[in-house]
Amino acid sequence: EVQLLDSGGGLVQPGGSLRLSCEASEFTLSTFAMSWVRQAPGKGLEWVSSISGLTGKTAYADSVKGRFTVSRDTSKNTLYLQMSSLRSDDTAVYYCATVLRKDWEPWAPFHYWGQGTLVAVSS
């Protein structure tokens, strides 16, 4: 069964940086589009970023564009989210997820999710 393991969260000061990881098992990460979705405490879900499986083409929500970078290491079967210039409103649980499509298709459902990793931005 597909398993996605999120890690890398923690407490960071405003303006700081953090890199999240999502390790995939029973699943070749580079074959499918992968995404990050976040959830602020007590709030709803928000799509953050995606990367297509074959082309590596990326997409970002306006709220993180220019500050976050999504990437992957196919040798480690791991997805990353490099976050910089962090703000208090970036505080959230970050989930990696896949739409099980080769390319990022924003109309496709998120079939599998990681367990999430908490990022807290505070001084």
Partner 1 sequence: QSALTQPASVSGSPGQSITISCTGTSVDVGGYNFVSWYQQYPGKAPKLLIYDITYLASGVSSRFSGSKSGNTASLTISGLQADDEADYYCSSYVGITSSVTFGGGTTLTVL
Which residue ranges make up the site for partner 1 (CB under 8 A)?
43-47, 59, 61, 95, 106-111, 113-116
Contact between 24 and 79 under an 8 Å Cβ cutoff? The reply is yes
Task: Tell me whether residue 63 is exposed, middle or buried, using C-beta atoms within 10 angstroms of its C-beta: 0 to 12, 13 to 18, 19 or more.
Answer: middle
Tokens for 39?
């959830």
- Nearer CB in complex with partner 1: 80/95: 95
**In the numeric block, which tokens belong to residue 11?**
């407490």
Taking the least distance from each CB to partner 1, the nearer of 1 and 123 is: 1
Q: Which is nearer to partner 1, 27 or 47 (CB)?
A: 47
- Least spacing, CB of residue 117 vs partner 1, in Å: 11
